[in-house]
Structure 1
Amino acid sequence: MSAQPHQGAASVIDKTFTAVRAALFHPQDLAEYDAEYAEITATPVVPMAALDEFLTRWWHTAIVANRDRADWYDVVDTAGKLRAGELAGGRDLAHILAERGYQIPR
């Protein structure tokens, strides 16, 4: 028996600023990445913890986004609608969790 690569699996994305930036494809992600990177690196002393957190977060985003690009476009579109208040008619998280047997401490 030989191991075969899983079809549809995202290619490996190196955890470097260049590789992560190249793996991003949604225009909104690219704009947010560039703006946040510029903000972090605009100071004379760059906080290394913030830079590491930034790279890790965007690396995870690139991995998830590249698993299914069409789905990622839907995710970003839905997030935009939520921010704009266009999808405010849904149920709240506490109600959904309660239906599933979880209780949120108040």
Structure 2
Amino acid sequence: MTAQPHESGTDTPIDRTFTAVRAALFHPDDVAEFEAEYAELTSRPTVAMAALDEFLTRWWQTAIAANRDRDDWAQVLQLREQLRRGEQVHTRDLADLAAQRGYPVTR
């Protein structure tokens, strides 16, 4: 997987509609997954509204997170691919990360 460099994120609101969410997805992996899931979900003879709502909510939240910091999101997707391939990845302790971001941490 190769991620293309992206400009820093945006605070532009993303409408919670299928069209707006799809348009907000910028990474090719996200676009492909969205389209594949949408096609599978809508190809059924009947589609449960709850399933559509869950799909839209999940991808809306993904689009918001991805657009908040595009470079960070590209790194998240790269890490995911490394984990899927079974590669060893460097991780950080959650308590250290929380403390670095100013959250009170008790050890």
Give the structure 2 partner of residue 64 of structure 1.
65
C-alpha displacement of 1:88: 6.0
Q: How many residues align?
A: 88
Deviation per residue, 1:19-58 (Å, 9 max, x gap): 0000000000000000000010001211111110000000
**5+ unaligned residues in a row in structure 1: which ranges?**
1-7, 94-99, 102-106
C-alpha displacement of 1:87: 2.1
Distance 1:77 1:52, change over 3 A: same
Equivalent runs, 1:13-52 vs 2, <5 Å:
13-52=14-53
**5+ unaligned residues in a row in structure 2: which ranges?**
1-8, 95-105
* 4+ residue segments displaced more than 3 Å: 88-91
**What code does the residue aligned with 1:51 have?**
L
Q: Share of identical aligned residues, percent?
A: 63
TM-score w.r.t. the length of structure 2 is 0.74
**Rounded Cα–Cα distance in structure 1 between residues aligned with 2:69 and 2:90:** 27
**What code does the residue aligned with 2:30 have?**
D
- When the two chains are superposed, the root-mean-square deviation of aligned CA atoms in Å is 2.2
Deviation per residue, 1:47-80 (Å, 9 max, x gap): 1111100000000000000001011000000001
**Rounded Cα–Cα distance in structure 2 between residues aligned with 1:65 and 1:81:** 18
